[in-house]
């Protein structure tokens, strides 16, 4: 009987049907590897590195190697093999992991990612030989000192010693935690109800730290699983007993006795913490299937809007009692639909942690390249964002972070001279407020010199030569296609997307991009995005006979005002607002809709602080859930319009792109600024044509 | 009907193993993603063959082999260790611990199927 598999030749073709799975799983292993590296990095200075982290990193490379071999992808297999070898030597203590080794692992993960991506996208696979040789170099000393190529197997997976675990438990007990021994005896009946060893394990992980887990055979010959849980939750045993689990107080010494007495199998499982744990019970779903689901939910929302419209017409026709019943059912459907929509949205959500982790790698590379000193700080890594948004926002964020390191932060000597710390800081923050996600990239560097930026733009003929004085023109200049202060190098190395691309991507997703800078103190870029793209809450407003939808997230406040509260300054209308004034713009004028100026009108306040403007409309018809249909026809696609939607009465309503509109209107404050041709001139004919066509 | 337990932390790898054994008649599959889960499957069901990865979180494959061989009610179940070659895992140690066979990944699906069929239907009788 053959005891080994022969060649990969037919093996590779036999498994080509699994290529899609292969790429997905590679992504997961690469993400895990990046996480492990980031957790290991701060431990380099310590006397020893957490064994479970090294094990996890080793497993990532090992899995990548095995999977790549199965699909016959030799470059990836070889690369993963080299990285695994190096880590294996580290794990055994033959090689000490120091900075050069870590750098090699980092660039190894990067190369592996590029190699796999190139294969997936059908591009030329980059040459991994430089990396392979740098790993060999790291291992050279070890190879010289040791001739044993096959060390004993037990060395690699000997369980963490009992003494070591006891020490861990004792430390936690001293810190005020409690330890519990939990036993679980599986049975077909329990398992059929979904109560299996994984369920129990996950349950324990929600209550505290799982220090130990192993299978045992009891006196009757039954298999039971024993776990040791360390928890600060006083009610942990109560919660476990409620699940039908046996739970006893656990004392380190009795632990020794129990474990020694029942030493059937070596202890399994290293100490685990939630930071490096493969998430349990995950289902992988193709994003396009979720898109389909979202589309169906969108259609449901539209159907319900039509139903709503029919109800309105039935009012007065139908007997009151029956109408009320129908209305009740209708509002129940509305609630359920909202729940459904939120449920589908939640499924699409992923945390920004992976994105942030990637930024740390970018900063590391750049810092090494440029010789500056920078630390990257995170907050809100657990913020959840739509998977699609995460993918789209990756490049813009990369650009902002690279920009912060290479342009924002000063060299150390300059920083010290300015009385700052030698090491620059970049803060990456994410948070959600209501229906919006906010991502910030802030540096404590030199800030942006507005005069220098304007001078350069003038020199390039991008803006008119006369001095412009507007509230926030620098970002507009930075975002001009073709403007760059020092970006040539980035572009040459093929990494560059310009600031113009950042703004475009953000606005295409219905978001807002803004910036604050203080000379000598730093710069903060702010990206605001809707949580989900397909369905949004919008205010339906009316101007003359036209209706528009304004995404609710963009509107700060709705004011009802009269003409006598207006101040006219030169040609601009100003409205008193919170002790100050804000410039007003009439939507009717912006879109060239004819209509008499009413004495009484509504103002939508858009934007914050000094940059707020008011958008004047005749009436606010209400708040509706709208399904955003993007305008794909280039002739119809105009700045200021994000898409179209249907309100249930069959009529199409344009959804305003408030951030673009907001920018254009703000620029009108300063008519001398010629950066963007005014929206009104560019689109009014088109809109009136559309209106006429209906 | 014979039950084959496929133990691997990689879902893709489990699917590849099961696809390789598709041609065998009268076989049902059970899956486990880690060692503890594998032991549970063995404890509550009738398993006729285990195909086992070594490098897994929670409980190393080698520990699974050792545990299985110590337990009276399933110590006879054949175990094929199917692992990616690594200088940490040795054939001799796996066989010494009680594995029936030791195969390396990448494996040839036809070879794996032939071996599995033999262990399930010929050697078992």
Phi, psi of A691 (to 5 degrees): -65, -45
Distances (CA, A) of A615 to A567, A593, A691: 15, 14, 21
Structural tokens at position B5: 């337990």
Cα A456 versus chain centre, distance: 34
pLDDT of residue A359: 87
Q: Please give, one letter per residue, the 3-state secondary structure of chain B.
A: CEEEEEECCCHHHHHHHHHHCCCCCCEEEEEECCHHHHHHHHHHCCCCEEEECCCCCCCCHHHHHHHHHHCCCCCCCCEEEEEECCCCCCHHHHHHHCCCEEEEECCCHHHHHHHHHHHHHHCCC
**How, if at all, do strands A424-433 and A436-443 pair?**
antiparallel
Query: Among the ranges A8-12, A636-640, A678-682, which has the highest mean pLDDT value?
Result: A636-640
pLDDT of residue A253: 52
Q: Do B36 and A84 touch (CB under 8 A)?
A: no
- What gap in Å lies between CA A37 and CA A276, rounded to an integer? 11
> Which residue in the set A1, A153, A213 is minimally distant from B93, CB to CB?
A153
Instruction: Band the pLDDT of A314: cuts 50, 70, 90.
Output: confident
**How, if at all, do strands A641-646 and A652-656 pair?**
antiparallel
Tell me: the pLDDT tens digits for A147-170?
444 443 333 344 444 456 677 777
CA torsion angle B57 B58 B60 B64 (round to 10): -140
Task: Give the least confident one: A216-220, A250-254, A483-487, B49-53.
Answer: A483-487
Distances (CA, A) of A381 to A28, A352, A378, A384, B103: 17, 5, 7, 8, 42
Cα Rg of chain A, angstroms: 31
User: Which chain B residues are Cβ-neighbours of A21 within 8 angstroms?
Assistant: 11-12, 15
- What gap in Å lies between CA A390 and CA A307, rounded to an integer? 35
- The answer to whether residue A594 scores a pLDDT higher than 70 is yes
- What gap in Å lies between CA B65 and CA B68, rounded to an integer? 5
Q: Is the ipTM of this complex over 0.85?
A: yes
Q: Do B90 and A153 touch (CB under 8 A)?
A: yes
The domain of B90 spans 2-122
Q: Do B37 and A10 touch (CB under 8 A)?
A: no
pLDDT of residue A484: 60
> Which residue in the set B43, B93, B111 is minimally distant from A2, CB to CB?
B111
Which residue has 């050279």 as its token pair?
A140
What is the average pLDDT across A71-93? 90
Fold of A535-693: OB fold (Dihydrolipoamide Acetyltransferase, E2P) (2.40.50)
Task: Give the least confident one: A74-78, A115-119, A610-614.
Answer: A610-614
More confident residue, A206 or A61: A61
More confident residue, A385 or B33: B33
- What gap in Å lies between CA A535 and CA A574, rounded to an integer? 34
Interface test with A, best of B58, B70, B97, B121 (most A CBs within 10 A): B58
Tell me: the pLDDT tens digits for B47-94?
999 999 998 888 889 999 999 998 888 888 999 999 998 766 678 888
Per-residue DSSP letter, A268:
B
What is the average pLDDT across A291-300? 84
- What gap in Å lies between CA A277 and CA A636, rounded to an integer? 49
Q: What string of DSSP letters covers A281-345?
A: S-----HHHHHHHHHHHHHHHHHHHHHHHHHHHHTTTS-HHHHHHHHHHHHHHHHHHHHHHHHHH
- Number of domains comprising chain B: 1
What is the average pLDDT across A351-377? 83
What is the average pLDDT across A77-93? 90
Q: Do B71 and A223 touch (CB under 8 A)?
A: yes
Span A162-272 CATH architecture: 2-Layer Sandwich (3.30)
Q: Are A476 and A459 in contact (CB under 8 A)?
A: no
pLDDT of residue A533: 67
User: Which chain B residues are Cβ-neighbours of A225 within 8 angstroms?
Assistant: 36, 39-40
A372 vs B: CB within 8 A = no
Q: Do A11 and B45 touch (CB under 8 A)?
A: no
Q: Residues A9-147: name the CATH superfamily.
A: HPT domain (1.20.120.160)
- The answer to whether residue A525 scores a pLDDT higher than 90 is yes
Cis peptide before B106 (omega within 30 of 0): yes
> Which residue in the set A58, A91, A215 is minimally distant from B67, CB to CB?
A215
Span A352-530 CATH architecture: 2-Layer Sandwich (3.30)
Phi, psi of A646 (to 5 degrees): -115, 140
From A29's Cα to the closest Cα of chain B, the distance in A is: 10
Nearest to A330 by CA among A551, A652, A648: A648
> Which residue in the set A17, A196, A265 is minimally distant from B67, CB to CB?
A265
Domain extent listing, chain A: 9-147, 162-272, 287-350, 352-530, 535-693
CATH of residue B32:
3.40.50.2300
**b/e per residue A144-163 (b: at least 16 CB within 10 A):** eeeeeeebebeebbebbebe
Nearest to A684 by CA among A599, A597, A590, A596: A590
Chain A from 532 to 591: CB within 8 A of any B CB: none
Alpha carbons within 13 A on the beta-carbon side of A388? 21
- What gap in Å lies between CA A392 and CA A456, rounded to an integer? 30
Tell me: the pLDDT tens digits for A202-225?
888 888 888 888 888 887 778 888
- What gap in Å lies between CA A34 and CA B17, rounded to an integer? 28
- What gap in Å lies between CA A595 and CA A198, rounded to an integer? 67
Tell me: the pLDDT tens digits for A536-570?
788 999 988 889 999 887 888 898 888 777 777 77
If you measure CA to CA, which chain B residue comes closest to A269? Answer: B58
Q: What string of DSSP letters covers A14-65?
A: HTGGGHHHHHHHHHHHHHHHHHHHHHHGGGTTSSS--HHHHHHHHHHHHHHH
pTM greater than the 0.80 cutoff: no
């Amino acid at each position: 009987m053959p005891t080994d598999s022969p060649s990969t030749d037919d093996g590779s073709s036999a498994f080509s049907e699994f290529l899609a799975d292969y790429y997905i799983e590679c992504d997961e292993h690469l993400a895990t590897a990046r996480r492990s590296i980031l957790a290991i990095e701060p431990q380099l200075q310590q006397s020893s590195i957490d064994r479970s982290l090294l094990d996890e990193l080793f497993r990532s490379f090992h899995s990548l190697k095995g999977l790549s071999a199965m699909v016959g992808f030799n470059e990836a297999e070889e690369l993963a093999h080299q990285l695994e070898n190096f880590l294996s030597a580290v794990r055994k203590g033959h090689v000490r992991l120091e900075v050069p080794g870590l750098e090699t692992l980092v660039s190894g993960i990067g190369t592996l990612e590029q190699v796999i991506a190139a294969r997936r996208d059908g591009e030329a696979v980059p040459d991994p030989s430089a990396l392979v040789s740098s790993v060999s170099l790291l291992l050279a000393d070890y190879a010289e000192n040791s001739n044993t190529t096959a060390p004993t197997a037990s060395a690699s997976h000997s369980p963490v010693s009992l003494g070591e675990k006891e020490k861990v438990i004792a430390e936690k007990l001293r810190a005020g935690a409690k330890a519990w021994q939990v036993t679980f005896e599986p049975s077909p009946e329990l398992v059929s109800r979904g109560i299996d060893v994984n369920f129990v394990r996950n349950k324990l992980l929600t209550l505290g730290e799982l220090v130990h887990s192993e299978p045992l055979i009891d006196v009757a010959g039954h298999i039971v699983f024993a776990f040791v849980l360390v928890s600060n939750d006083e009610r942990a045993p109560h919660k476990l007993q409620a699940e039908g689990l046996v739970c006893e107080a656990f004392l380190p010494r009795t632990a020794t006795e129990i474990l020694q007495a029942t030493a059937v199998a070596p202890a399994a499982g290293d100490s685990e913490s939630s930071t490096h744990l493969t998430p349990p019970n995950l289902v992988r779903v193709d994003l396009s299937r979720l898109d389909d689901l979202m589309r169906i939910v969108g259609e449901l929302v539209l159907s319900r809007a039509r139903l709503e419209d029919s109800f309105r017409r039935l009012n007065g026709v139908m007997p009151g009692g029956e109408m009320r019943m129908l209305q009740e059912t209708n509002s129940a459907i509305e609630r359920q639909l909202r729940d459904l929509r939120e449920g589908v949205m939640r499924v699409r959500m992923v945390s920004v942690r992976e994105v942030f982790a990637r930024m740390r790698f970018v900063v590391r590379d750049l810092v090494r390249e440029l010789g500056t000193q920078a630390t990257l700080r995170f907050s809100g890594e657990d913020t959840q964002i739509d998977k699609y948004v995460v993918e789209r926002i990756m490049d813009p964020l990369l650009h902002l972070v690279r920009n912060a390191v290479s342009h924002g932060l000063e060299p150390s000597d300059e920083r010290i001279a300015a009385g700052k710390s030698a090491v620059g800081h970049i803060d990456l923050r994410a948070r959600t407020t209501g229906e919006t996600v906010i991502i910030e990239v802030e540096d404590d560097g030199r800030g942006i010199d507005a005069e220098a930026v304007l001078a350069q733009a003038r020199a390039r003929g991008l803006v008119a030569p006369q001095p412009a004085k507007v509230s926030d023109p620098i970002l507009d200049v930075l975002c001009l296609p073709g403007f760059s202060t020092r970006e040539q190098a980035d572009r040459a190395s093929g990494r560059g997307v310009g600031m113009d691309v950042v703004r475009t991507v953000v606005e295409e997703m219905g978001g807002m991009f803004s910036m604050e800078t203080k000379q000598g103190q730093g710069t903060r870029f702010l990206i605001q995005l809707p949580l989900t793209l397909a369905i949004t809450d919008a205010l339906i407003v009316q101007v003359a006979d036209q209706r528009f939808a304004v995404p609710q997230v963009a509107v700060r406040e709705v004011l009802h005002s009269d003409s006598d509260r207006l101040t006219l300054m030169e040609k601009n209308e100003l409205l008193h607002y919170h002790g100050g004034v804000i410039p007003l713009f009439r939507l009717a004028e912006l879109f060239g809709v004819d209509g008499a100026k009413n004495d009484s009108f509504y103002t939508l306040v858009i934007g914050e602080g000094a940059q707020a403007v008011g958008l004047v409309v005749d009436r606010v018809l209400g708040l509706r859930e709208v399904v955003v249909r993007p305008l794909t026809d280039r002739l119809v696609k105009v700045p200021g319009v994000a898409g179209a939607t249907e309100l249930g009465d069959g009529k199409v309503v344009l959804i305003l792109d408030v951030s673009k509109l907001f920018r254009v209107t703000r620029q009108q404050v300063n008519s001398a600024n010629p950066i963007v041709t005014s929206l009104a001139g560019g689109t009014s004919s088109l809109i009136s044509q559309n209106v006429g066509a209906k | 009907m014979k039950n084959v337990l496929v133990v691997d932390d990689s879902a893709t790898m489990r699917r590849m193993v099961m696809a390789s054994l598709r041609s065998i008649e009268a076989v049902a599959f059970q899956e486990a993603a880690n060692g503890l889960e594998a032991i549970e499957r063995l404890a509550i069901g009738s398993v006729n063959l285990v195909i086992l990865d070594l490098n897994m979180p929670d409980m190393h494959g080698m520990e699974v082999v050792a545990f299985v061989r110590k337990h009276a009610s399933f110590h006879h179940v054949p175990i094929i260790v199917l692992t990616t070659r690594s200088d940490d895992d040795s054939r001799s140690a796996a066989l010494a611990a009680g594995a029936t066979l030791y195969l390396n990944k990448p494996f040839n699906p036809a070879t794996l199927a032939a071996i599995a069929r033999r262990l399930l239907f010929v050697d078992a009788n």
